[in-house]
Every structure is written in C-alpha cells, then in structure tokens.
Structure 1
Amino acid sequence: MSINSAMLAGVSGLVANASALASISDNIANVNTVAYKRNQTNFSSVVTAQAVPGHYSAGGTQAITRQLVSTQGLIQTANSATDIAINGDGFFVVTNKGLGLADSDQRLFTRSGSFSVDANGYLVNDAKLYLQGWPVEDGVATPDPSDLTSMQPINVKSLGTAVAPTSLVQLTASLFKNQTVSAGEAAYDPTVTPTTSMAQYADDIANNAVVTGTKPDFTMEMSITDSSGGTHKVALAVLKGATPNEWHAEVYAVPATDVTGGASPGLIGEGKIMFTSNGDFDPVNSGGFFANLSGSMTPSFSLGNSATGAAPKWATSLGLSDQTITLDLSKLSQVVEASQLKSVNSDGAGVGNVIAVQVDDQGFVSAIFDNKQVRKIAQIGLATFPNPDGLKPSSGNTYSSAIPAGVMVAKAPGTAGAGVISPSSLEASTVDLSQEFTGLITTQKAYSASSKIITTADQMLDELIQMKR
C-alpha cells in the first residue's frame, strides 16, 4: 500500500539523517584532533519495484558515510622537534607496543604526528602508539617496501654514549725565523742515534732521568680522543736546522707509555718541516714523516692495537682500536717573531649523552649528544595505498588495512610519490566548522521533514479507519 511505503520512507529518512547527525557530531568533536579526517554522509535513494500500474511505492533513502582520508590537512608550525607532519601521501606506521614487538602484532597507520619521547625512550604519539622506522647502520637505512616487520619501534635512549675518535688535527702556529741554531743540533740524528731525539728529551725530563735527548726549540701540544672517548696528549716538537728555512720535527706521545714501538720512548714520527722564502709551509720539500704524502699537505699517522697494526701503536694495556690521525700543517708559518701556537682544532669528541632529538625532511630521526655529536637512529617509513579512503578507521585516529584500500607499499619520505616530512609541524584537522554547522541545520530540517511524513501518513491511515464508522 502506498501509504505504508510512505511511512517506511519517512522512517528511512529519520534513520539516514540520524546517521548524518552522528557523523557531523564526530567531526565537530574532533575539530582540534591532530590530522583528523572529516566524515561525510551521502544519501542514496532506494527504489522499490512498482508492481501495480498507477500505484507508486516509496523506497526511501539510505545513508552512506565515509571518511575523507585522502584530504590533506593544513600544515601548522609546532613547538616540539618531535612533532612531525606528512605533506603529501602516506601514513606513519605505528604499533600498540614497543618492547617485545613480534611480527604477528598488528601494524596500524596514522597521520597523527604529535610524537614525544616516553619514559622508556620510545617515540609515541598522543594515542600512546609507537612510531616505526627502519634502523640506520653506518648512516644508511634499508627500506623494505612490502615488509612492515623490517621496521622497529624508534628508541632514542637505548644508544648508550657517543664517541668521535680524533681523525684530524689542524695546527695554526708560527715559528721564529731567526731562532738561534742550538748547540745540540749538530749531533741530532734520531734515525741513527735514537737517544738524541726530542722525544727522548721529554721522557728524560718527565722521569727526572739523566738528559740524553735534544731539547726542542718549541713544542706544540694537542689532545687526541681515542676510540673509547679517552683523551691523550700528543706533542709536535721542532728544532731549528742549520739549513735556512728548515726545522727538525717529531711527534711523540705524552706520556711516552701511551704508545709502544717507536725508536725512542713515545716517538710516533719524525722528519723535517720546510718553509718557502716567504714563510709559508712547503709540503713538497718537507721530508720524512712530514713529507707530502700522496699529494696531500696533511701527513697522517696510525696508532694500531695489535702486532700486525701500525708501529708505533697504542699501548696494549689501553685496549684501544686502530686509529688514523691526519695532521694538517698547512697553517704553519715562519716569521720574524717569537714562536707561538695560535690554535689547535680537532674533530674528536669524548663521551657524550643524548640531550635532544631531531627529525629531518627525509624522515631521519637523529640523536643530539652533549659533545656536539649527531647520530642518525632510524628513518621513518611511510605506508602508501592506492585508495586511502578505503582504509578501515580505528580508535586513536588510526586506520587498518582493508581490501578496498589496495596493496600497501612502504616508502622512504619524498620518494616514489610518498609525501615529505615537515619537522616541527603538525597536520590540522580537515573539519570546517562553518560547513558542519550548516550541515547541522539542514540535517535537523530534513529530520523534521521525515517525521512529518510519518505523522501525515498516520493521519491518512486514521481517515481510512474512520471510513468504517
């Protein structure tokens, strides 16, 4: 009967508009939720079979609600270095736990990048979900596009300490051109008589022994950081030679017991330093240890830790790894003024602890140590889908895989169509309050109109019943 179908159509209108109201309510409630994607309720007509010619049966309507996941939210500046946003396609991969994560544990996807470091050092967002990333080894991450289990929860406190062994030392100094040639220079020849070395002199003085070595004219000391973060002292001693613009030079450890294997106690290398007529360092004519090695102005020395390592080498008792140190002498000069050491610049750094975390636009999470070292920990992976709107919504502003979304592919940020990471930023909700309030008005009116259908149909049925009386 047409009146019955009209009443049922009114009921379908009530149900559909109630769904629309629920959708709008969710949107308004989440207007400030980071990276929230608004719901949209569309209406679809229902057509029934018209069995009797001339009689129309109403079918009504049904509500179809979907979340507009693929809509990009506004990227806004945030105060925290661990707040990150995705500008473009992709989702952060997150899990419900960090420690003890198994391959069978569910991986979820989210755009909510309000991450912070928890008490255990993991990066978690406001929903307490753990951010996943590819571990970095030797500064390189290895993304796997199809296996999410290759990602691990990112932890910034399980790194221990950072040490940067010295690999380069640059000396800026001037030597006195008119330095008087010492009486001991004539007998100085450590390659033939090791006891005449300047290293021997330093060791004799340090041990209050009878002095047999040659006293240097000038000594420059530098600090060396070893592989364990310890600090050692190394000296560059020079002695004016009888030949113009020539200086004898030695590098030795202080104390001498830090190294073994040298001809003299603590001796690491010896040779001569030459200067041009205008006082510049002359790497071509410098000789011995300070010769122009492989076309470079920077001689280097290696300190090993084994019998097959370099000689001299670190003392075995120190238990240190092999280390090669480049000595940059390009800023040495010879002038008519007293010798002076102006600066020593070294790239080494001792033991350091994590004091901050940063994320770059390629998704690399790095730990910053208080010794100024920066170490990459992991690279954030972004999961992409052919149809993001087909993902299944979950609590915590997350989504799970679903067949309509298509096959997931994990990508490094900014590659193969994946979005880029915006550090110190957050993606805003896509909810527009003016649009939602307008929707409230139209939904309320539609709901009222549907109720009128039911009351009108009810009145008509009453009229029909009254015909019997």
Structure 2
Amino acid sequence: MSLYGTMRTGVSGMNAQANRLGTVGDNIANASTAGYKKASTQFSSLILPSGQGSYNSGGVNTSVRYSISAQGTFSYTTSQTDLAINGRGFFIVQGSDGVEYLTRAGSFQQMDDGSLVNSAGFTLMGYEYSSAADPTIVINGFDGLTEVNLQAGGMSATPSTAGYITANLPSNEAVGYTKPTSLMAYDSQGNSRKLDFSYIKTGDNAWTVSASYTNPDTGVVTPQIPATAITFDADGKLLTPAGGSITTAGLTINGAALNPIAIDISGMTQLGKPFESTGDINGKAASSVIGYEIGKDGVVSLKYESGELVPKFRLAMADVQSPDKLNPLAGNVYSQSNDSGVIVMGYPANGSYGSVLSGALEDSNVDIAEELTSMIEAQRNYTANSKVFQTGSELLEVLVNLKR
C-alpha cells in the first residue's frame, strides 16, 4: 500500500466531510428562510485499480442533493400578499435582469408602483385575467406573462346597460291616474344619472309608461322613453309590449355617454292593490381600488370602494419532471437544468398543480436536530480522516529515517 496514497485518501475524506459541513452550515443559516429547501451531501467511493499483492487506496467523491420537492410546513401571517403553495409547483418571478425564475419563496410585498416583490427582490408574474376563458399560455415557456400589479385597475366605472322594474299598477284607480318613480343609472364616466318614470292610466287594462332625464345644471328635460302603451289581461298579467321590455334612447351629457338601457318590465302587474314598485339598473359609480383578494386558484381580484371585486390577474405556476434536479440560485430561486426536465406551465389548483394559500408562507424544510447530528458526525469523521493522514505521515517519516 502506498503511503502517499494513504495520505491522499485521508485528504479526500477530510474534503468530503468539509463539504458536508458546508451544506449543514447553509441549512442551519437558512432554517428560517421562507421556502428554503435543504441541501445534503451524498458520498460515493472512488476505487483505484490495485496490483497483485498490493492495495492502491482510493478515496471518496461527494455530490450535493437538494430536497426541493419536499414541502415544508406553513406559517400563517397577517399579510394577504404572503403566498404559499400547497402541493406541487413554483411561482414564476422575474429578476432585475429581466429573466424569469422559479421559486417557492412567497413573501411578497406591494411596492409603490403596485408590483409584488419578494424579500429577495424578485417580481411576481402572472397572466391577465379573462372572464370568458382561461388565459392562453405557452406550455413550455414564459411568453405571455406580465407583472402582477395591484394598482393596475386605477379608478373604475361601469356604465349602465340594463335594468328591471317590478311594479303593481292599481286596477281600481280612475283613468288619468298618474304615478311617478325614479331609478338611478350611470354614464360612461361613472356619473349618477336619475331617470324619471311616469305611469298614466289611459283605460281599462291600459296604461302608458314614459321616462325622461332632467339635467340638474340646465333644467333641460330630455325624453328617454316616449309614452308607450302597456296592456294587461283580465288576470292583471302583462300583455304588451311583446317581450316585456322597454329601452331608453341614451344621450350624451357633458361629454359622457348614457347608454341605451334595456328595462325588463315583464314582472309588472295590474291588481286591485295600491301602487308599489321595485327596480334596479346595473352599473357602478366611479371608485378607486381599496384592497385585493387572492384566491386558491391564483385569481387576483381588486376591491373597489363600491364593494365590487374585479378579477385582474391569474398567477402563473410552473413545474418540472424532476424538481430536485433544478439549479438553485441566489435569492432562493431556481432555473431549469439538463437533468430537471423542461418547465411546464399551468395554473394553481388546476390538474397536478397545488393551490395558493394567501396570508401564509412555506417554512424551510430544514430539521435543526438532524442538521446538528450531521454536524457532529462530520466533525468526528473529519477528525478520523485527519488521523489517517497523520498516521501515513508518521510512517513516511519512519521510512525516511531508516537511512541515517
């Protein structure tokens, strides 16, 4: 057996244990890092060919394995922008270099510009939401992604387009009986516009309904629905107009458009009771964003002063065939490697992808007790390997001293 080989074997063992101590140190340092996945050092033997009658000592090789697929526990917080994934998948974030990365670290905070940035400075990405269909995604790429922005809605107004009136017109009133009511509508700029309705009895089972708008600044009255005949059958049920609907004309007011509004009056009756009416017109007044909600399916909705929740974005989620083979990078992010498989895109709570927990963070999957045990083992093994090196050195000294 070569004494030099013995010394090299001891050095190999010390280097291997030093690598193990390195991963243990990283794990302990990041035990409180949200979404951190622990590293471990794996050992494999290095065998060198030996001649007949002599043994050629080899050594040990090390490789680092990451437990990226092992999910940590969850810690719940008071911030809705703290996000965790319950199940498979990764958030897509963009670095300052404009490149997209994968991460499980969901400690996002809203910035002044409305973007969501995590503690490592990466920006959360997603798709613009559509109520008609799921966003079209590039399955194996990041095309189509956009920055998730909680101020993207700004001020919002929804113009009126439809409404309904349910009323009972008293059958026992005399011809000429008149009853006014009003409904509030909204123009294209979110201004409230009061529409005045008038019902006049013209005969047995016959009435007219009309509507107008009075400009509060000028006092000018603009007809919106001309006097329209409505008739009832002997049971007091509506006969005409056909379809049970009337429509306002629409107009422009101070540069804003009040759209034509289809009013459903099919629920109107004529019975021997006093006049009563209920009704509503859709649309919302101008309001600003006051909050947001992030659902389990990753839909990011903005909350307006009017109480309306408007979906704006849907978080993107990615996965690979072998998550443990991803390349870990600074900032608790990952990139695709040759061994991880291609990145496949999808949505939270869809297929094999996990759901999003708002107001929660995924803890590190580091077990401190296990790491401390590994540290003690590595320390003892390092000492043992140093003894092998020391013994080889001492024997070499004996060999040199044979000749004096």
TM-score normalized by the length of structure 2: 0.89
1:61 CA displacement? 1.1
What residue in structure 1 maps to residue 212 of structure 2?
252
Q: Deviations over 1:418-450 (max 9, x none)?
A: 333233332221111221122122112111211
Question: Which residue matches 1:7?
Answer: 7
Contact residue 250 and residue 257 of structure 2 kept, 8 A = no
Q: How many residues align?
A: 402
Matching residue's letter, 2:293: Q
Q: C-alpha displacement at 1:137, in angstroms?
A: 4.7
Deviations 1:241-283 (A, max 9, x none): 431x54332222234999x9xxx9414143344567676xx23
Q: What is the CA-CA distance between 1:340 and the residue it aligns to?
A: 4.4
In terms of fraction of residues, the more helix-rich structure is 1
| Residues 1:127 and 2:106 aligned together | no
Instruction: Report the counterpart of residue 193 of structure 1 in structure 2.
Output: none
Matched, 1:351 2:307: no
| Pairing 1:465–2:403 present | no
Query: How many angstroms apart in 2 are the aligned matches of 1:146 and 1:421?
Result: 21
Partner of 1:449: 384
Unaligned runs of 5+ in 1: 183-215, 303-311
Give me the whole-angstrom Cα distance separating, in 1, the residues matched to 2:270 and 2:26. Answer: 74
Partner in structure 1 of residue 92 of structure 2: 93
Residue equivalent to 1:61? 60
Closer/same/farther in 2, CA of residues 83 and 111 from structure 1, 3 Å limit: same
- 1:174 positional shift: 4.6
Map of 2:178 onto structure 1: 217
TM-aligned CA distance change 1:35 to 1:331, over 3 Å: farther
Deviation at 1:466, TM superposition (A): 3.8
In structure 2, the CA distance between the partners of 1:90 and 1:321, relative to structure 1 (3 Å rule), is farther
1:301 pairs with 2:261: no
Cα displacement (A) at 1:319:
4.0
Quote the Cα distance in structure 2 between the aligned partners of 1:19 and 1:439: 12
- The CA deviation at 1:358 is 1.8
Is the contact between residue 188 and residue 256 of structure 2 (CA under 8 Å) also seen in structure 1?
A: no
Which residue in the other structure is 1:49 paired with?
49
- Contact kept, 8 Å, 1:77 with 1:424, in 2: the verdict is yes
Q: Aligned to 1:93, what secondary structure does the other structure show?
A: strand
SS at match of 2:257: coil
1:110 is matched with 103
The Cα RMSD (Å) is: 2.8
Q: Give distance in 1, aligned partners of 2:49 and 2:110.
A: 61
Q: What residue is the counterpart of 2:261 in the other structure?
A: 324
Give the Cα separation in 1 of the matches to 2:164 and 2:195: 13
Retained in 2: the 8 A contact 1:166–1:325? Answer: no
Correspondence for 1:425: 360
Q: Is the 8 A contact 1:253 1:268 kept in 2?
A: no
1:271 aligns with 2:228: yes
Separation of aligned partners in 2, 1:328 and 1:426: 52
SS in 1 for 2:92: strand
Query: Displacement of 1:24 after TM fit?
Result: 0.9
* 8 Å contact kept, 1:227–1:323: no
Give SS of 1:149's match. Answer: coil
Partner of 1:377: 312
Kept after mapping to 1: 8 A contact 2:161/2:259:
no
2: CA distance, partners of 1:273 / 1:123? 56
Alpha carbons of structure 1 residues 456 and 229: separation in structure 2 relative to 1, 3 Å: same
**Cα 1:410–1:314 shift into 2, 3 Å:** same
Deviation at 1:96, TM superposition (A): 1.9
Percent identity over the alignment is 28
- SS at structure 1 position matched to 2:129: strand
Counterparts of 1:331-410 in structure 2, within 5 Å, are: 334-337=271-274, 339-341=275-277, 343-410=278-345
TM-score normalised to the size of structure 1? 0.77
Output the amino acid matched with 1:67: Y
Whether 2:148 is the aligned partner of 1:154: answer yes
- Output the amino acid matched with 2:125: Q
Correspondence for 2:199: 238
Judged with a 3 Å threshold, the aligned counterparts in structure 2 of structure 1 residues 329 and 400 are, in CA distance, closer, same or farther, namely same
1-side partners of 2:72 and 2:342: how far apart? 24
What amino acid is aligned across from residue 121 of structure 2 in structure 1?
K
Measure, in 2, the Cα distance between the counterparts of 1:430 and 1:246: 77
Cα 1:316–1:119 shift into 2, 3 Å: closer
Describe the shift of the 1:15–1:326 C-alpha distance in structure 2 as closer, same or farther (beyond 3 A): farther
List alignment gaps of at least 5 residues for structure 2: none
**Displacement of 1:106 after TM fit?**
1.8
Answer yes or no: is the 8 Å Cα contact 1:257–1:266 preserved in 2: no
Structure 2 residue matching 1:25: 3-state secondary structure: helix
Q: Distance in 2 between matches of 1:16 and 1:332?
A: 89
**Could you tell which deviates more after superposition, 19-28 or 440-449?**
440-449
Deviations 1:80-124 (A, max 9, x none): 222222233322221124xxx8xxx32211111122210111111
Distance in 2, Cα, partners of 1:391 & 1:449: 34
> Structure 2 counterpart of 1:315, which letter?
T
Change (3 A) 1:459 1:123: same
Distance in 2 (alpha carbons) for counterparts of 1:87 and 1:331:
51
Distance 2:251 2:264 in 1: 17
Contact 2:93 2:124 in 1 (8 A): yes
Q: 1:35 to 1:145 in 2, by over 3 A?
A: same
Question: 1:323, 1:32 → 2: CA distance?
Answer: 59
User: Deviation at 1:409?
Assistant: 2.1
